[in-house]
Chain A
């Protein structure tokens, strides 16, 4: 980006203005990403419920009792519900960041910009916590797999 000749002798202002512009541009893209992501999740949830409501041919579930089949269906429901909740929380943080940052950039409100950045922090904190939980589950299932295969042998 070229330096504004009126502010060439004040690089701090140029840098601060460039930073505000970049945060504003990031906020705009983040808002679009948040809306698309939520729309995709909602479509997926609707598709799941519509497809599960359809009449499917009876497939004999050899080796599985009726209660086990019901449990796996319940598990799918839990997963869909969980992904919807996570999407909604992520949308709240990301869209909140987008809205506040754009207002702060237009009206030059540093306090609101800090609030917007706190929403962005919350968004990344959410995904970091989910990743850690996912890794913890992976390790637990690995350990239980090793223990049960050892007990079975």
Chain B
């Protein structure tokens, strides 16, 4: 008897939610922000997984890999191995920072939509802005490197 009442209550709740969706359809902007945060979260998750594999590989084979790389480089200067190690760490931390911004942005956007809090959504977009700022800086360095290749 109690179970029947509980089931009836659940069905009534579902019916009310359906009617609410008909009379108050979800905001298309909110739906799009949810989609954005899902794709961003996927990219961040894949990135973190790949980063974990890189950390694991470098822990056991890192020295050998960097020494081999130092050996096959066309430019041979003293201290090339140390330069490679520093370069690896810089690239690793920049990538980690990019992934952190993506992950934080996705988390804040989803939380903002769930709690209908525009301030949280705004904070999520601020993290996306930081992501694009860092991407622009990296793009600028790449552009400078390509232009210097053109001139040489």
- Contact-residue size bin, chain A (C-beta under 8 Å from the other chain): 35 or more
B136 touches which one: A19, A22, A33, A113 (CB < 8 A)? A33
Q: CA of A26 to CA of B143 in the docked complex: distance in angstroms? A: 22
Q: Contact: B122 with A22, CB < 8 Å? A: yes
> 1/0 per position for A51-82, CB-CB distance to B under 8 A?
10000000000000000000000000000000
The reply to whether the CB of B78 lies closer than 8 angstroms to some CB of chain A is no
A43 to chain B: which residues have CB within 8 Å?
Answer: 143, 146-147, 150
Q: Min CB distance, B147 to chain A, in Å?
A: 6
Q: Contact: B128 with A26, CB < 8 Å? A: yes
Majority-rule SS of B interface residues: helix
A23 touches which one: B35, B40, B125, B143 (CB < 8 A)? B125
Once A37-B135, A113-B29, A117-B32 are accepted as A-B contacts, the answer to whether A15 and B118 lie under 8 Å apart by CB is yes
Q: Contact: A44 with B146, CB < 8 Å? A: yes
Q: Contact: A114 with B29, CB < 8 Å? A: yes
Q: CA of A40 to CA of B135 in the docked complex: distance in angstroms? A: 12
- Which residues 100-153 in A have Cβ within 8 Å of B in the complex? 110, 113-114, 117-118, 120-121, 124-125, 127-128, 131-132, 135
Once A19-B121, A36-B136, A43-B150 are accepted as A-B contacts, the answer to whether A29 and B129 lie under 8 Å apart by CB is yes
The reply to whether the CB of B126 lies closer than 8 angstroms to some CB of chain A is yes
Binding site for A on B (CB under 8 A): 28-29, 32-33, 35-36, 39-40, 42-43, 46-47, 50, 117-119, 121-123, 125-126, 128-129, 132-133, 135-136, 139-140, 142-143, 146-147, 149-150
Known: A47-B149, A118-B32, A135-B46. 16 other contacts (CB 8 A): A21-B122, A22-B122, A22-B125, A26-B128, A26-B132, A29-B129, A29-B132, A30-B129, A33-B132, A40-B146, A44-B146, A46-B150, A47-B150, A51-B149, A114-B29, A120-B36
Binding site for B on A (CB under 8 A): 12, 15-16, 18-19, 21-23, 25-26, 29-30, 32-33, 36-37, 39-40, 43-44, 46-47, 50-51, 110, 113-114, 117-118, 120-121, 124-125, 127-128, 131-132, 135
